[in-house]
Structure 1
Amino acid sequence: MSEKRKADEDLEERDAKKQQLGDGGDEEKNEADAAKPLVQGPEHVGALVVCGQFNWDMVGKRDNKTSTPSVPHGRTLWAPHIFGPLKGVRVRVAASGSNAGHNVIVTEDGRCFTFGRNVKGQLGLGDEERRDIPTLVESLKDERVVGAACGRHHTLFLTDRGEVYSAGDNKCGQCGVGNTNPVLTATKVKHQGAPIVKVACGAEFSVILDCRGVVFTFGLPEYGQLGHNTDGKYFITSTKLGFNNETKPKRVLVFVEKGRDNHSTPVDEVEVRDVACGTNHTVAVDAKGRVFSWGFGGYGRLGHADTKDEMVPRRIKYFDTQTRGVKHVFAGSTYSMALTDNGNVFSWGMTKRTGEANMYPKPVQDLCGWDVRSIGCSVTSVMVAADESVIGWGCSPTYGELGLGDTKKSSANPTEVKTMDGLHVHAVEMGMAHTLMICRDDTEQDKANLADLPEYNI
Structure 2
Amino acid sequence: MRWFGFGFNAFGQMYLNEKLIKGECSDGANEVKVISPTELASHANRDESCLKTVCQIRASWSRRASLHLDGDSCVCLAASNESSGISVKDSRGCKDASISESYLTLAFPDRIESWDVQKEEKTPSWSMEIKSESSGASLDLPLVPGGYIATKPPFYRSLSPHLKAKSLALSAGHAILLSESGVVYTWGLGSHGQLGHGGLSSEQEPKIVEALWGMPMSCVATGGWHSVCISGGGDLYVWGWNESGQLGLPSRGLRKSPQQQGSPQEGARCQDPCTSLAEEPQEGEKQEEVFISIQAFPALLDITPSCEIKTVSCGSRHTAAVTTTGDLYTWGWGDYGQLGHRSLTSSDEPQRVEFFREQQLSVVDVVCGAWNTFVAVVKEEVA
Tell me the CA shift for residue 224 of structure 1: 0.7
- Partner residue, 1:316: 301
1:327 and 2:285 aligned? no
**Distance change in 2, residues 1:371/1:134 (3 Å):** farther
**Distance change in 2, residues 1:191/1:335 (3 Å):** same
In structure 2, C-alpha distance between the alignment counterparts of 1:102 and 1:141, rounded to whole Å = 26
**Match 2:205 to one of 244, 248, 252:** 248
In structure 2, C-alpha distance between the alignment counterparts of 1:371 and 1:127, rounded to whole Å = 35
**Distance change in 2, residues 1:198/1:362 (3 Å):** same
Tell me the CA shift for residue 112 of structure 1: 6.1
1:204 and 2:173 aligned? yes
Work out whether residues 311 and 322 of structure 2, in 8 Å CA contact, stay in contact via their aligned partners in 1. yes
**Match 1:53 to one of 7, 11, 14:** 11
- Partner residue, 1:282: 227
Tell me the CA shift for residue 311 of structure 1: 0.9
Matches within 5 A, 1:424-443: none
**Match 1:118 to one of 91, 102, 115:** 102
**Distance change in 2, residues 1:140/1:91 (3 Å):** farther
Matches within 5 A, 1:153-192: 157-159=142-144, 163-169=146-152, 183-184=153-154, 186-192=155-161
**Distance change in 2, residues 1:363/1:202 (3 Å):** same
Deviations 1:6-36 (A, max 9, x none): xxxxxxxxxxxxxxxxxxxxxxxxxxxxxxx
Work out whether residues 362 and 379 of structure 2, in 8 Å CA contact, stay in contact via their aligned partners in 1. no
1:379 and 2:337 aligned? no
**Distance change in 2, residues 1:216/1:131 (3 Å):** farther
Work out whether residues 272 and 286 of structure 1, in 8 Å CA contact, stay in contact via their aligned partners in 2. yes
- Partner residue, 1:336: 319
In structure 1, C-alpha distance between the alignment counterparts of 2:94 and 2:322, rounded to whole Å = 28
TM-score, L = length of structure 2:
0.58
Deviations 1:384-440 (A, max 9, x none): 221269xxxxxxxxxxxxxxxxxxxxxxxxxxxxxxxxxxxxxxxxxxxxxxxxxxx
In structure 2, C-alpha distance between the alignment counterparts of 1:304 and 1:114, rounded to whole Å = 30
- SS, match of residue 254 in structure 1: helix
**Distance change in 2, residues 1:358/1:315 (3 Å):** same
In structure 2, C-alpha distance between the alignment counterparts of 1:231 and 1:274, rounded to whole Å = 23
Structure 1 unaligned regions, length at least 5: 1-43, 45-50, 65-77, 149-156, 170-182, 233-244, 256-267, 390-458
Tell me the CA shift for residue 214 of structure 1: 0.9
Work out whether residues 116 and 132 of structure 1, in 8 Å CA contact, stay in contact via their aligned partners in 2. no
| AA of the residue aligned to 2:118 | R
- Partner residue, 2:140: 147
Q: Count the aligned residue pairs.
A: 270
**Match 1:365 to one of 342, 354, 359:** 354
**Distance change in 2, residues 1:189/1:100 (3 Å):** farther
Residue identity (%): 20
- Partner residue, 1:80: 42
Deviations 1:296-316 (A, max 9, x none): 011211012234211111111
Tell me the CA shift for residue 231 of structure 1: 0.8
**Match 1:193 to one of 154, 159, 162:** 162
**Distance change in 2, residues 1:102/1:221 (3 Å):** farther
Work out whether residues 102 and 116 of structure 1, in 8 Å CA contact, stay in contact via their aligned partners in 2. no
CA RMSD of aligned residues (A): 4.1
**Distance change in 2, residues 1:134/1:311 (3 Å):** farther
TM-score, L = length of structure 1:
0.49
Work out whether residues 118 and 129 of structure 1, in 8 Å CA contact, stay in contact via their aligned partners in 2. yes
- Partner residue, 1:40: none
